[in-house]
Amino acid sequence: MEGIVLALLGVALAVGLSGIGSAIGVGLVGESAAGLVTEDPDKFGQTLLLQALPMTQGIYGLLTGLVIMINLGIFTGEVASLTVTEGLSMLMASLPVALVGFLSAIAQGRAAAAGIGLIAKRPEEMGKAITFAVMVETFAVFSVLVSLLLLLFM
């Protein structure tokens, strides 16, 4: 039965850490965007798109957390009984998305906030500003991929 506590810790880390990362990233871009929109309100739409980019890590974390919860049978009312090893495995599976999600969301926030500066000067180059920030996404995708594969095929 102790295994379940470890599995729940996995849920908390996956959702929590990647969520914190996304919150910091989105907040940072928001600050930058607020600065630009103060001077140039017409750029609101463009900045909003950039601000949304670091949100995905939080979504990947949420997804991973939900998969663990489904595996545990939390939604069916019959919570599975887990050994410590089984619980620890789920905790380990949550770590890629928790750690990479946390840090990549902040890094993506910085890249996107720098992109705000780019569209301030060259609004026509918004695609490039987005591309730079999206590059960071690659690593968040890798991590959620590994987390989910571990949970589904283990």
Partner 1 sequence: MTLARDTSFAYAVGRIRALETRLLDRSKLERMIDAASADEAIKILAETDYGSAVAELAAVHDFEEILQREMALTLAELEKMSPQKDLIALMRLRYDVLNLKILLKAKYLQVKAELLLPLGTVPLSTLQAMVDEERFRDLPGPLRSALDRIMEEFPLTRDPQMIDLALDRVLFEQLMAEAARLQSPFLKGLFARQIDLINLKTFIRVKRMERDRDFFKKAVLPGGRLPLDRLISLFDEPLDALHGQLSRTDYATLIEEGVRGWMEKGSSALLEKLADDYITTYLQRGKRSAFGPEPLIGYLWAKEIEVKNIRLILVGKINKLSADAIRERLRDVYL
Residue 42, interface with partner 1 (CB under 8 A)?
A: no
DSSP 77-142: S-PPP--HHHHHHHHHHHHHHHHHHHHHHHHHHHHHHHHHHHHHH-GGGHHHHHHHHHHHHHHHHH
Q: Which stretch binds partner 1 (CB under 8 A): 5-13, 52-60, 97-105, 108-116?
A: 108-116
Residues that contact partner 1, how many (by CB under 8 A): 20
Interface residue with partner 1, options 81, 117, 152, 154 (CB under 8 A): 117
> Mapping DSSP to helix (H, G, I), strand (E, B) and coil, where does residue 73 land?
coil
Interface residue with partner 1, options 28, 67, 90, 150 (CB under 8 A): 28
Interface residue with partner 1, options 34, 84, 145, 149 (CB under 8 A): 34
Q: Please name which of 132, 139, 103, 134 lies closest in space to residue 115, comparing C-alpha atoms.
A: 132
Name the residue nearer to partner 1 (CB basis): 38 or 85: 38
State how far Cα 9 lies from the chain centre.
17
* Residues of this chain that bind partner 1 (CB under 8 A): 28-29, 31-40, 43, 110, 113-114, 116-117, 120-121
